[in-house]
């Protein structure tokens, strides 16, 4: 069994380490002893004798040693200007800066593929593989032949304008064989995601192709329902176009809230059901206002003219 140290032996260990022991007695190696470091004597510290013998001690001295070690390590690891220049040359870049002060600073350089662009980068980012951003953008671009083939695979004809392809987010004009008269445009990203002609999508959502089409509905009932009447759709569109998609009562042209009103009612005036001259473009508010006054069904053009005259007089 090892002999327990005397107080004088413990005091000698602290003196050897450069510490002033503040205790006046020593019991055993489990005792936490108060002391002051002679370099950092503003604060009392505590330690067990065994920890002191094992190399532990003043935490402030330890912190300073760590900082000095890190600084020394940084100096040893710091690249020279020649080493930095060599890293740029390996990538084919021309380093423009004539000095190198540390890894935190960005360095100016030129890429041979884009000599008109002065760029900046940290040396560590360069060593990790980063580089010319313009080369990265170019690498992501599809060759124009591939862009043309992509449109062709979808059944579209790309309208070529100087064979220029900017990027996947730029809309490109094309011809859809089903809607050659329409101005159709799409990005290659959208095309690859499965999107296509907007007008074809509208066609697929109407009539028998619509997901809401009730195939079990008898023809005689369908004939009475204006939702299934293609002539009504054409009539409504004709009324809107003639009135420039604007409510003729209040001038609302915000869109999305327009109704095509039959002057002589749809229910009784069979001969003029699809006559554009028998229609008027009204916003939902004005349309509701008219029917609140004259009711629904059996309406006449005379009622409409009377209502529109009164409305114009009140404004």
DSSP 114: E
Q: Are 101 and 50 in a shared domain?
A: no
Which of 137, 156, 175 represents a domain boundary (last residue)?
Answer: 137
Same domain for 305 and 236: yes
Residue 1 forms part of a structural domain = no
Q: Of the residues 121, 137, 153, which one is the last residue of a structural domain?
A: 137
34 within a domain of the structure (yes/no): yes
Q: Is residue 211 part of a domain?
A: no
Total number of domains constituting the chain: 4
SS3 314: helix
User: Mean pLDDT, the chain, as a whole number?
Assistant: 87
What is the 8-class DSSP label of residue 310?
Answer: H
Q: Average pLDDT of 119-143?
A: 89
The answer to whether residue 219 scores a pLDDT higher than 90 is no
Q: Is the pLDDT of residue 231 over 60?
A: yes
Q: Which domain holds residue 57?
A: 7-73
Give pTM, 2 decimals.
0.36
Question: What is the rounded (10 degree) CA torsion for 55, 56, 59, 65?
Answer: 20
- Are 65 and 83 members of one domain? no
Say if residue 149 is in the same domain as residue 167: yes
Confidence at residue 182, expressed as pLDDT on a 0 to 100 scale:
82
Same domain as 227, residue 310: yes
Mean pLDDT of 205-222: 64
Q: Which of 114, 137, 160 is the last residue of a domain?
A: 137
Residues 226 and 298 in one domain: yes
pLDDT score at 302:
93
Distances (CA, A) of 5 to 2, 27, 185, 197: 9, 9, 91, 92
67 and 146, same structural domain?
A: no
Residue 239 lies in a domain: yes
Within a domain: 168: yes
159 domain residue, yes or no: yes
Residue 265 near residue 300, CB atoms below 8 Å: yes
Same domain, 131 and 151: no
pLDDT the model gives residue 223: 54
Domain membership of residue 2 (yes or no) is no
- Residue among 136, 141, 35, 50 at smallest CA distance from 91: 136
Backbone angles phi, psi at 219, to 5 degrees: -60, -35
262 and 303 share a domain?
A: yes
Q: What DSSP line would sit under 190-256, residue for residue?
A: HHHTT---HHHHHHHTSGGGSTT--TTS-HHHHHH-GGG-HHHHHHHHHHHHHTTT--TTT----SS
> Is residue 226 pLDDT above 70, yes or no?
no
Which tens digits make up the pLDDT trace of 99-115? 998 888 999 999 999 99
From 5-9, 120-124, 185-189, the region with the lowest mean pLDDT: 185-189
d(CA 107, CA 103): 9
189 and 161 housed in the same domain: yes
Does some domain include residue 249? yes
């Amino acid at each position: 069994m090892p002999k327990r140290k005397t107080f004088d032996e413990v005091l000698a260990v602290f003196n050897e380490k450069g510490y002033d022991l503040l205790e006046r007695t020593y019991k055993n190696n489990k005792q936490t002893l108060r002391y002051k470091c002679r370099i950092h004597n503003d604060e009392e510290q505590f330690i067990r004798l065994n920890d002191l013998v094992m190399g532990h001690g003043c935490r402030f001295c330890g912190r300073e040693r760590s900082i000095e070690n890190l600084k020394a390590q940084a100096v040893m690891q710091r690249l020279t200007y020649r080493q930095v220049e060599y890293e740029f040359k390996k990538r084919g870049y021309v380093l423009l800066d004539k000095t190198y002060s540390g890894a935190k600073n960005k360095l100016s350089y030129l890429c041979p593929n884009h000599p008109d662009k002065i760029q900046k980068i940290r040396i560590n980012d360069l060593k990790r593989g980063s580089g010319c951003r313009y080369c990265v953008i170019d690498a992501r671009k599809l060759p124009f032949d591939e862009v043309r083939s992509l449109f062709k695979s979808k059944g579209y004809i790309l309208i070529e304008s100087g064979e220029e392809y900017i990027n996947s987010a730029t809309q490109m004009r094309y011809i859809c064989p089903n809607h050659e008269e329409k101005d159709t445009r799409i990005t290659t990203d959208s095309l690859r995601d499965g999107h296509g002609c907007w007008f074809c999508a509208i066609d697929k959502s109407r009539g028998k192709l619509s997901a809401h089409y009730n195939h079990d509905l008898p023809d005689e009932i369908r004939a009475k329902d204006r939702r299934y009447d293609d002539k009504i759709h054409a009539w409504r569109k004709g009324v809107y176009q003639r009135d420039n998609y604007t409510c003729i009562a209040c001038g609302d042209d915000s869109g999305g809230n327009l109704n095509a009103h039959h002057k002589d009612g749809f229910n009784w005036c069979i001969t003029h059901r699809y006559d554009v001259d028998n229609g008027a473009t009204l916003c939902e508010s004005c349309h509701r206002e008219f029917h609140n006054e004259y009711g629904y069904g059996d309406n006449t053009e005379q009622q409409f003219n009377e209502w529109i005259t009164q409305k114009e007089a009140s404004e």
